[in-house]
A and B are shown apart, each in its own frame.
Chain A
Amino acid sequence: MNDENTYRDIERYLAGEMDGPARSAFEQRLAAEPQLAEELALHRDIEGAFADPETMAFSALVADVVGGEAAGESAVPKKNTFRIWAVAAAVLLLAVVGFFVFQGGPASPESLFADNFTAYEAPANFRSEDPVLEAALQAAFTAYNNGNYADAQQRFGVLYAQSQADRTVSFYYGLSALANDQASTAIAPLQELADQAPHSYRSQARWYLALAHLAENQVDSAKARLESLAASPGKYQAPAQDLLEELE
Chain B
Amino acid sequence: MDFTNFTATENPTGVMASFSDKERLEGLRRGERQAVQSLYDDYFDRIAHYIVQNSGSKTHAQDIFQDAVVVLFQKVRSPEFQLTSSIYTFLFSVCRNLWLKKLRKSGKEEVTSDQDMEYIDEGPEKDEWEEQARYQMYRRKLRQLGEGCQNLLQLSMQGLSMKQIVARLGISSEQYARKKKFKCKEQLVRLIKADPDYEALRYDA
Q: Which residues of A contact B (CB under 8 A)?
A: 2, 4, 7-8, 38, 41-43, 45-51, 53-63, 65-76, 98, 102-103, 111, 114-116, 118, 121, 123-127, 200, 235, 238-239, 242-243
Contacts and interface: CB of A to CB of B under 8 A. Distances in A.
A75 B37 CA distance: 32
A76 to B, nearest CB: 6
B135 interface: yes
A50 B157 contact: yes
Residue from B40, B77, B172, B179 whose CB has the most chain A CB atoms within 10 Å = B172
Contact of A102 (B36, B57, B139, B179): B179
B147 A118 contact: yes
Interface of B: 30-34, 36-37, 40, 44, 57-60, 62-63, 65-66, 69-70, 73-74, 77, 134-136, 138-140, 142-148, 151, 153-154, 157-158, 169-173, 175-176, 179, 182, 185-186, 188-190, 192, 194-197, 202, 205
Given A55-B73, A62-B69, A200-B37, 12 more contacts: A49-B138, A55-B70, A62-B66, A63-B139, A66-B66, A66-B69, A75-B196, A102-B172, A123-B31, A123-B34, A127-B34, A238-B145
A57 B69 CA distance: 13
A46 B62 contact: no
A58 B147 CA distance: 17
Contacts of B65: 66
24 contacts: A4-B182, A42-B189, A42-B192, A43-B189, A49-B136, A50-B158, A53-B154, A58-B70, A59-B139, A61-B36, A66-B36, A68-B59, A70-B60, A73-B59, A73-B196, A75-B194, A75-B196, A98-B176, A102-B175, A111-B170, A115-B171, A118-B151, A126-B34, A238-B143
Interface of B is mostly: helix
Contacts of A124: 30-32
Given A42-B192, A69-B62, A125 B30 contact: yes
B139 A116 contact: no
Contacts of A111: 170
Given A102-B176, A114-B170, A46 B157 contact: yes
Given A50-B138, A62-B69, A115-B169, A68 B31 contact: no
Contacts of A41: 205
A65 B38 CA distance: 10
A242 B148 contact: yes
A52 B113 CA distance: 35
A213 to B, nearest CB: 16
Nearest to A10: B185
A76 B170 contact: no
Residue from A49, A116, A125 whose CB has the most chain B CB atoms within 10 Å = A49
A70 B64 CA distance: 10
B59 A70 contact: yes
Nearest to B157: A50
A74 B142 CA distance: 21
A63 B66 contact: yes
| In the complex, the 4 A-B pairs of residues with the closest C-beta atoms, listed nearest first | A242-B146, A49-B135, A102-B176, A50-B157
A87 to B, nearest CB: 11
B139 A76 contact: no
Contacts of A125: 30, 32
Given A56-B139, A70-B60, A102-B179, A7 B185 contact: yes
B62 A68 contact: yes
A234 B169 CA distance: 24
Contacts of A238: 143-146
